[in-house]
């Protein structure tokens, strides 16, 4: 019984220590121009704000990456569709190539439309992160 209580207290103490910021997180905050040297990292409110900055930056990067991928697919689809339409105008299967080219261009346009909310979300997260960074 005594051993199980000691074991539980040990596990609780490990989880409490996990609330501090790691060296990698502190380096990331310093890269974002948050001077962590002058801050009291033992204060829970400061830790919460610093963790929020890190979370917002990660969300911004994720949204921006998805937006870049979707925009790249959109641009390649539109260009490829235009090439298929242009090359198929003088051949026998011009109707089929026009349909395939049109569908490829339409797919590219749809991907371009889908990427717009990701760009705006990345911009919004950046503004939120920068507002928190200015507090420090």
- Give the model confidence (pLDDT) of 24-50 as tens digits: 888 888 888 888 777 777 777 888 888
pLDDT, mean of residues 121-126:
93
Evaluate if residue 70 carries a pLDDT over 50.
Answer: yes
Instruction: Residue 98: count other Cβ atoms within 10 Å of its Cβ.
Output: 15
- Give the model confidence (pLDDT) of 104-113 as tens digits: 999 999 999 9
Tokens of 100: 């395939």
Tokens of 94: 């011009």
Quote the pTM value: 0.71
Domain boundaries, the chain: 22-135
- Report how far residue 68's alpha carbon sits from residue 75's, in angstroms, rounded to the nearest whole number: 10
């Amino acid at each position: 019984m005594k051993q199980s209580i000691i074991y539980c207290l040990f596990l609780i103490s490990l989880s409490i220590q996990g609330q501090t910021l790691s060296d990698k997180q502190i380096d990331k905050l310093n890269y974002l121009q948050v001077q962590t040297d002058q801050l009291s990292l033992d204060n829970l409110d400061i830790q919460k704000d610093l963790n929020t900055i890190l979370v917002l930056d990660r969300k911004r990067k994720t949204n921006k990456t998805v937006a870049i991928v979707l925009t790249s697919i959109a641009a390649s689809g539109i260009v490829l569709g235009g090439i298929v339409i242009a090359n198929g105008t003088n051949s026998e299967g011009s109707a089929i190539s026009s349909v395939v080219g049109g569908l490829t261009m339409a797919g590219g346009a749809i991907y371009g439309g889908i990427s717009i909310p990701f760009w705006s979300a990345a911009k919004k997260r950046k503004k939120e992160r920068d507002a928190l960074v200015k507090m420090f």
